[in-house]
Structure 1
Amino acid sequence: MELRGKQKRFLRSKAHDLNPIFQIGKGGLNAAVITQIEEALEKRELIKVSLLQNTDEVAEDVARVLEQEINCDVVQVIGRVLVVFKPSSKEKYQRLSYDVRKI
């Protein structure tokens, strides 16, 4: 799903109060972390991921990898924090994606 500007703005406003639920550290971005992020996106649709000081990863590279591997949208990258969105495939979790489609 390619997001338009207004949709991204809406998602950024919803993500403002969220705390990062994933932290990528010295282990880097591996298959296990990608799987966990994908499972969290299925239930929450919108999450924040932060990169710790001790990681060698670059935020833009992590964003690119997540978009390719999970087929999600990185809504925003601020410093070492990424805001990631992916519509849920299960109808009971589709709260945000319903609002995003209306915009």
Structure 2
Amino acid sequence: MITSKQRAYLRGLANKITPIFQIGKGGINENMLKQVDDALEKRELIKFHVLENSLMDTREACGEIADALGAEPVIVIGSKFVLYRESKDYKEIILPR
């Protein structure tokens, strides 16, 4: 569980990154979860974009992926959301206390 201070720090870092995953009308499947899991391990912080033709709400998609992969939702705004999970092997982001 991350604190509000850590969440604010991660939001600042997330401003600079571009979305690397899009969620469309196909929704979320096992293959996508595997790719997101690998990307979280390498990057720790990932931004997603939910397309207008998606059958899922942005908050719903964020919650589903976060629960499935043990990640922390950082921010949900508009059609974008950001997830964070500490990496075991590639730790680069040092959170404030």
Q: Tell me the distance in 2 between the aligned counterparts of 1:61 and 1:31.
A: 16
**Counterpart code for 2:91:** Q
The equivalent of 1:26 in structure 2 is 25
| Structure 1 residue runs without a partner (length 5+) | none
TM-score normalized by the length of structure 2: 0.95
Q: Tell me the distance in 2 between the aligned counterparts of 1:34 and 1:79.
A: 22
TM-score normalized by the length of structure 1: 0.90
| Structure 2 residue runs without a partner (length 5+) | none
The equivalent of 1:12 in structure 2 is 11
Question: Percent of counterpart pairs with the same letter?
Answer: 35
The equivalent of 1:76 in structure 2 is 75
User: Which has a greater percent of helix?
Assistant: 1
**Counterpart code for 1:66:** I
**Counterpart code for 1:10:** Y
Q: Cα deviation per residue 1:78-102 (whole Å; 9 max; x = unaligned)?
A: 0110111000011xx1010xx11x4
Shift of 1:31: 1.1
Q: Which runs of 4+ in 1 moved over 6 A?
A: none
**Counterpart code for 1:14:** L
